[in-house]
Structure 1
Amino acid sequence: MNSESTSNYERLHTAVEAAGIGTWDLNLLTGELLWSDRCKELFGLPPTATVDYARFLAGLHPDDRARTDAVVAQALDPAGTGEYDIEYRTVGLEDGGRLRWVRATGRVFFNEDRTQALRFIGTITDITEAKRRSLHLQRLLESDVIGVLFWDLNSSRVLDANDQYLRLIGYTREELQAGLVDWRALTPPEGMAEEERIIAELRRTGTHRPFEKEYVLRDGRRVPVLLAGSLLEPGGTEGVSFCLDSSEQKSTAARLAASEQEFRMVTEYIPQLVWLTDPTGFHTYFNQRWIDFTGYTLKDSIGSDMWNNLLHPDDRQRARQRWGHSLATGEFYEIEYRFKAKDDSYRWFLGQALPVRDEAGYIVKWFGTCTDIHDQKLQEFALREREAEFMTLANAIPQLAWMADETGSIFWYNDRWFRFTGTTLDQMRGWGWQQVHDPNHVERVTEGFRAAVASGEKWEDTFPLRRHDGEYRWFLSRALPVHNEAGQVVRWCGTNTDVTEQKQLQDQLERAYSDLEAKVMFRTLDLEREVQELRRRLGE
């Protein structure tokens, strides 16, 4: 292996190790089995441990050994594809029997006539956390305490649900599979405005805050529920919600306790930092995602001072004021702020909290979430920077500049326009620019611009505009349409260039040309008279 190949191999090995992926290499001719340190770690072995195929099988969960051995044999069969892909459990040979779920993938290399397997190479990845979350979700789906539903925003259909949710709304699984369950149809008319706000929040952040609503059943009865959910994929239309029957929660203490336990499971599943406080704002609970992000244990996180210690210094006073206002008034709490991670970096979050009230209307606790919006904020800052750069450029050019929407209604002018005309944006917005046009030209100019907007073609015209001191100056005006990806006009960008001096020079040239033509004509007439007089004399 040359130096370049060695370097490439080392870089690849480093990248694989950094990604937490283990590698293995089995020489089928010698029986030598090589494992990376990460591979040994996933079997509970130290880096110095020696391994062979027998020890590999010993490190598998007893229920997975025969199945895994069969999949290996199938991969080694020259009549097969040589591909290897399986999930199994390891039992931690030397770390106390720690159970891990892993996924192993690999490929067998055969001799040229494909009669004998020579080498077996592959990777191994830890999927324990994914399996744990999948198990939690399965338990939620099988739960008889909390309803779970999968839905589509565009069609408003409930795509799938567990039995508890179907019992709650009074539908059968056959009706669900036939596409007859529509969550909009279950919502009373007075609840649609709140529903639309929740949908807008889902499309904006990918999740929605827990909220209370009522379902209207087919027999006319109403069932109060508490809903929380999120989109399955950012920017998608399908998502999952967890539905708690509020009427049953209030009916018995036993079901309340069970619902609380199920609700805690929900908070571990949703992709947000979740917290609870008592009515005074004293924090009493944080979910595991909070602990993973901040590095604070649950014990360290309980209390009031800790919260502000994790906030960015520039956000603390604002957050205290906003939170204090919500505690005093019971109003919905919402704020964007930066939280410190356990690696001392800061990320932007959308903090939201909703008061939970008892039957008498008193607040008994606050339920809050922190949604990571760091990437969206960075995009927002970048957009603001680009807008600032554009404004600087637009205000630096020597022309008057403006932008209009797809209908031709102007919504922005650069500073030079306002300095020249002495007007304000409120006066000029829309078609207000007609106020500073010469009355003798404004109708013609307006008709020409409207025609360009209707056709989507670029526009150009020359006309006078009134300056702030009442003097009119001539401008050459141009506008170009801006299209979206679908080819539709979304706005117009235009400029007005002062051509008064050029216009005056043109007028002077035209007058000088007219004077010259007159002089030539008179001189020609004089010459004709002189010629006629000469002919007359010669004739005598």
Structure 2
Amino acid sequence: MSEDTFAFRLKVLLEHKKLSLQQVADAVGISRPAVHKWTRGGEIDYSNLRRLAAFLDVNWVWLRYGDDAVRDLGLAGTTELPMTDLRRRYTAEIVSNEARMKQAQESTGIVTWEWNLVTDELIYSSNCAQVYGREIHSNEEFWEILHPEDSVWLNDEAMKEVVASKAPRVWDFRIILPDGQTRWIESRLATLLDDAGRPLRVVGTTIDISARRQADFALQRSLQLLNDAARMAGFGAWRWLRAQDEMIVSDEWCRLFGVDPAQAPRHYVELSRHIHPDDRAAREAAVNDALAHRGDYRVLYRACLPDDTSRLVVEQGQARVAPHGEDVWLTALSRAAQPADMAPNGAAAGN
């Protein structure tokens, strides 16, 4: 519960004055459960509020609305909440929560920051140097550590656009550490507004994603190697996850079938559009048999190309239980048919 609530102020006053709920109820002229609801955040009407404030000997505006309302109305005097056991427990809880938050923040490497648009003050959390390699105290210091290629788009103009749009953003960029190493950073930021809808502060969190980026780059290199090898060998590949009806199709498969990779099949039924109508039934029968027996299949069929011609294709596949045991994966390789594929045991489907 926040200290800036009617319920909290009431509970602190009751504890300080050693008043029971029944004593308050008798003094105000209402039931004990009604007073209990007030201490739990329940609403209070004006007449009962005035009687309650008089009984507690406090300003009724302060009791209901707090210090800000008293100041806004220009009322004289201020009211200080006494340091009761309740306030001590509340303060201790805040300190404990902040300590846990700081520990979690530092252990996970998350840096928080806040840019005050009114004072132009930039404040980073205490673990800033762990991620950035140094303390950051201003936007100018931040721009200085950006990788030259990223400083082209991440600059003062980009920040002005963020503030003007008032929309949250996620940025991935590189920084240069004092020892010359490059580190990848992911930053999530949002603009906070005042009551009139005007930008007041920009707040954000940043985290080192260098390991993730390196893994992504390694995966991309591996995929490129596989794609290059598949292209040289003339093999196209695809995998179908049956339960999700989700397909993964290689670039070489798209080249073989004359398909733009952006328009590659994403569902199994879409494959049929690229197979000659007279060959679809025989191919489907072979696939269904492999699915039923978790086995292999080999079919020869005509692929329909975008220019209304066809290409004879050999497809070899296998149906296997997925690693988690709850799905079936159908994986296949396709290539242009060779004369040897015309042997009797490789007769074209549908012919």
Asked if these proteins are the same fold (TM beyond 0.5), I'd say yes
Is the contact made by 1:452 and 1:459 (CA closer than 8 Å) also made in structure 2? yes
Write the letter of the residue equivalent to 2:288: R
Tell me the distance in 1 between the aligned counterparts of 2:192 and 2:276: 64
Match of 1:494 among 328, 332, 335: 332
Is the contact made by 1:441 and 1:463 (CA closer than 8 Å) also made in structure 2? yes
**TM-superposed deviation, 1:306:** 0.8
Write the letter of the residue equivalent to 1:435: R
Unpaired stretches in structure 2, ≥5 consecutive residues: 12-39, 44-64, 72-79, 82-90, 346-351
Alignment identity in percent?
14
Match of 1:401 among 217, 237, 240: 237
**TM-superposed deviation, 1:322:** 3.8
Alpha-carbon spacing, 1:383–1:422, altered in 2? closer, same or farther (3 Å): closer
Unpaired stretches in structure 1, ≥5 consecutive residues: 1-142, 147-163, 168-217, 222-246, 508-540
Is the contact made by 1:281 and 1:327 (CA closer than 8 Å) also made in structure 2? no
What per-residue deviation string (whole Å, max 9, x for no partner) do you get for residues 287-319 of structure 1?
Answer: 22114554545xxx3332111111222221222
Q: 1:191-230 maps to which residues of 2 (within 5 A)?
A: none
Q: 1:438-517 maps to which residues of 2 (within 5 A)?
A: 438-453=276-291, 455-466=293-304, 472=310, 474-481=312-319, 484-489=322-327, 491-499=329-337, 501-502=339-340
Whether 1:289 and 2:127 are equivalent positions in the alignment is yes
| Structure 2 residue matching 1:288: 3-state secondary structure | coil
Correspondence for 2:211: 375
Write the letter of the residue equivalent to 1:273: V
Q: 1:261-410 maps to which residues of 2 (within 5 A)?
A: 268-269=102-103, 270-271=105-106, 272-279=110-117, 282-294=120-132, 296-297=134-135, 301-320=136-155, 321-406=157-242, 410=247
**TM-superposed deviation, 1:326:** 1.0
* Structure with more relative contact order (C-alpha pairs < 8 Å, separation 6 or more): 2
Correspondence for 2:27: none
TM-score by length of 1: 0.41
Alpha-carbon spacing, 1:380–1:400, altered in 2? closer, same or farther (3 Å): closer
| Structure 2 residue matching 1:386: 3-state secondary structure | helix
**Larger fraction in strand:** 1
Q: 1:108-123 maps to which residues of 2 (within 5 A)?
A: none
Write the letter of the residue equivalent to 1:461: V
Tell me the distance in 2 between the aligned counterparts of 1:324 and 1:362: 13
**TM-superposed deviation, 1:405:** 2.7
Q: 1:143-154 maps to which residues of 2 (within 5 A)?
A: none
What per-residue deviation string (whole Å, max 9, x for no partner) do you get for residues 347-392 of structure 1?
Answer: 2221122223333333322222212222222222222222222222
Write the letter of the residue equivalent to 1:440: D
Write the letter of the residue equivalent to 2:249: W
Alpha-carbon spacing, 1:325–1:478, altered in 2? closer, same or farther (3 Å): same
Tell me the distance in 2 between the aligned counterparts of 1:453 and 1:250: 71
Is the contact made by 1:350 and 1:373 (CA closer than 8 Å) also made in structure 2? yes
Between Structure 1 and Structure 2, whose CA radius of gyration is higher?
1
Q: How many equivalent residue pairs?
A: 265
| Structure 2 residue matching 1:302: 3-state secondary structure | coil
TM-score by length of 2: 0.60
Is the contact made by 2:254 and 2:264 (CA closer than 8 Å) also made in structure 1? no
